[in-house]
Every structure is written in C-alpha cells, then in structure tokens.
C-alpha cells in the first residue's frame, strides 16, 4: 500500500536517453526522392525535456516517427539507453510501450471512456487485469485533476481534459520517453497555459524524458531544458538553446527578462529558417 502523497517509484525512472546519430531519411514517393532529414544528430539525456522547433514540414515529425517505429530511416542510427532502436540492417524500430506517442490531433479512442482509454495499455500488455488497470487508471486520472470524468467518453469532455487524459494514458505505461507531436497546437492561449502547468507538474513528478515537437517558441522555452531549432527541409539541427531556468517553473517566469532573451535567441534562428521554408515553398509552387 502506497501511502497517500508518496510518488510510486517508477521502474523506468532515470532511463530514456536518446541518441540520434547521423540520421538521414529519404522518402521515395513514386520514384521522386525527397530528402526529409539530412545527417541529423542529437543527444538527449535521460529525464530531459527536449523541445524541437522548426518550420512546418521540415521533418520533425519524421524524426519522431523514426523513434516511435512508425517510419524507417535510410541512414544513421538511433539508440535508446545505449540499445539500438534502428540503424543499418534494421531500418524500422520496433514499436514499444517504452516510447509512447501523443498525437497532434489527439488519439483517444472515442468509443472508450477516459478510464478505459487509460487502462488500455496495461491490459493489452497483460501487466494488469481489468479491475486493477481500471483502478490504477482512475487513480492516475485523479492525480491529473480528472477525478470525476473517468466514465465519460472523450467527446463529452473539453479538449484540454481530453489532452490531459491522453498524456495520462501514455504515462500509465511507464514509458522511458514521451513523444509529443504538437499536442497543444489547436488550443487557445488560456487552455494552453493550463496544459503547460499540468505538464510541468507531471514532469516534476515523473522526470520522464520528453521529446516535444512544437511551433510555439514561448511554449518551448517555458517547458524545455533545451530547445533544438531545426533547419527547413532537409532537417538538421541548426541551433540549440539551453534553457537554464530552474524548476519547478510557473507562469511568472513568462514575464522575466531571462525568458524574453531566450525567446528572442530562439526566434532569430527559427525566423531565418521560416523565411527559407517560405521561399522554398514558393519555388515549389512556381
């Protein structure tokens, strides 16, 4: 019996170091080679919140898909805690519950209640039986401030609640890495700020490694330990902004001088790439 208030020990705490080495991805739709990621290298420490920003269509999601095992890579290798995920001879990583993805548009199963959604992972993995999984799901939902909505369908709750539940659904699997693909994209600023604080609170509790793709620079500085600015396609790391704002953070830092300077620094790099991407887009259309 875990005493109230104590954090249950995470089996995978302190794990989840990702090493991306010289990864190249060439898409080949109908014989036309498209270089999506070009010789991209990135080291992410265990327990780090790594924010990936870059222009639309630059190949950030391709990188995430390679880590998750949705897409193969053409060259290079990706390691998770020193173990090869994908590389030469094994272009596609195995999908596994140690790297759970939270999708851009939300992927809670609409036909299951929030509790069933959260309990899905442990039940299909056979780690917990149905009753245990449900109990744990309700506990974890309550921790995330979703105590009373466990039996509602995703369509019955607000998008913010649904998104929070989706992160809980990922966390219940005790992942080494949480892969977030612009999870708060379509949210209004107010909801977003609440989501940010909830995510930070969750991170402070679990210290799970987070790979977070976004377009929103303020979001990236507010949440991240490092902000990796990507070049426009083909995707390479252009600049890494270290965010040394101490945790736990709250929204007060948004108005601090330090925060503004970091945003400016990242903005400069992103803006350059955005212009390049925009012009490249125009050329493609012309």
Partner 1 sequence: MATTAPNVYNQRTVVRRTRWQKFLANKKLWRGVTAILCTLVLWEIGSRWDEWFGFRLPFIGFIPPPSDVMVAWLEVLPKIGYWQSWYLSFKRVLAGFLSAMLLGIPFGLALAVNRYFRDIFFPPFEVLRPIPPLAWVPASLIFWPTNEMSIAFVTFLGAFFTIVINVLGGARSIDISYLRAAQSMGATQLDMFWRIVLPGTLPSIFTGAAVGMGITWEVVLAAEMISGGGTQAGGGLGFFIWNSYMGGSLEQIVVGMISIGIAGYLSSSAIRYLGTVCMPWRRLF
Positions in the binding site for partner 1 (CB under 8 A): 68-70, 95-97, 99-101, 103, 105-107, 109-112, 120-121, 124-125, 153-156, 169, 173
Minimum Å distance from CB 124 to partner 1? 4
Distance between terminal CA atoms of the chain? 66
Minimum Å distance from CB 94 to partner 1? 10
Tokens of 252: 């007060």
Nearer to partner 1 by C-beta: 171 or 217?
171
For residue 257, give the nearest of 245, 271, 241 by alpha carbon. Answer: 245
Nearer to partner 1 by C-beta: 23 or 100?
100
What is the CA angle 248-239-265, rounded to 5?
65
Tokens of 212: 């977070």
Cα atoms in the Cβ-side hemisphere of radius 13 Å centred on 212: 29
Nearer to partner 1 by C-beta: 109 or 251?
109
Minimum Å distance from CB 213 to partner 1? 14
Nearer to partner 1 by C-beta: 77 or 174?
174
| 3-state DSSP assignment of residue 85 | strand
Nearer to partner 1 by C-beta: 120 or 222?
120
The DSSP result for 173-192, as a single string, is: T--SEEEEESTTTT--HHHH
Nearer to partner 1 by C-beta: 75 or 153?
153
| Alpha carbon distance 185, 161 (integer Å) | 14
Minimum Å distance from CB 85 to partner 1? 13
Minimum Å distance from CB 186 to partner 1? 14
**Helix ranges restricted to H, the chain:** 60-68, 114-125, 130-143, 159-171, 189-206, 217-223, 257-285
Minimum Å distance from CB 67 to partner 1? 11
């Amino acid at each position: 019996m875990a005493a109230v208030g104590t954090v249950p020990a995470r089996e995978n705490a302190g794990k989840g170091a990702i090493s991306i080495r010289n990864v190249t991805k060439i898409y080949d739709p109908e014989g036309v080679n498209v270089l999506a990621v070009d010789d991209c290298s990135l080291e992410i420490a265990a327990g780090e919140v790594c924010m990936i920003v870059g222009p639309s269509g630059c190949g950030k999601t391709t990188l995430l898909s390679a880590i998750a095992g949705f897409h193969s890579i053409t060259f290079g290798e990706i390691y998770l805690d020193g173990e090869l995920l994908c590389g030469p001879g094994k272009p596609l990583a195995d999908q596994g519950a140690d790297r759970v993805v939270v999708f851009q548009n939300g992927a809670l199963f609409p036909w299951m209640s929030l509790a069933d959604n959260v309990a899905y992972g442990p039940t299909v993995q056979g780690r917990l039986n149905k009753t245990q999984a449900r109990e744990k799901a309700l506990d974890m939902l309550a921790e995330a401030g979703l105590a009373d909505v466990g039996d509602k369908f995703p369509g019955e709750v607000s998008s913010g609640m649904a998104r929070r539940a989706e992160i809980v659904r990922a966390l219940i699997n005790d992942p080494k890495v949480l892969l977030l693909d612009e999870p708060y994209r379509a949210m209004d600023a107010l909801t977003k700020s609440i989501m940010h604080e909830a995510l930070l609170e969750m991170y402070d509790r679990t210290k799970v490694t987070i790979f977070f793709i976004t377009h929103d620079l303020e979001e990236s500085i507010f949440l991240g330990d490092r902000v990796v600015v990507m070049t426009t396609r083909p995707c390479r790391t252009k600049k890494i902004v270290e965010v040394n704002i101490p945790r736990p953070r709250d929204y007060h830092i948004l108005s601090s001088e330090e925060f503004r300077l970091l945003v400016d620094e990242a903005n400069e790099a992103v803006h350059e790439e955005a212009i390049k991407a925009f012009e490249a887009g125009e050329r493609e259309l012309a």
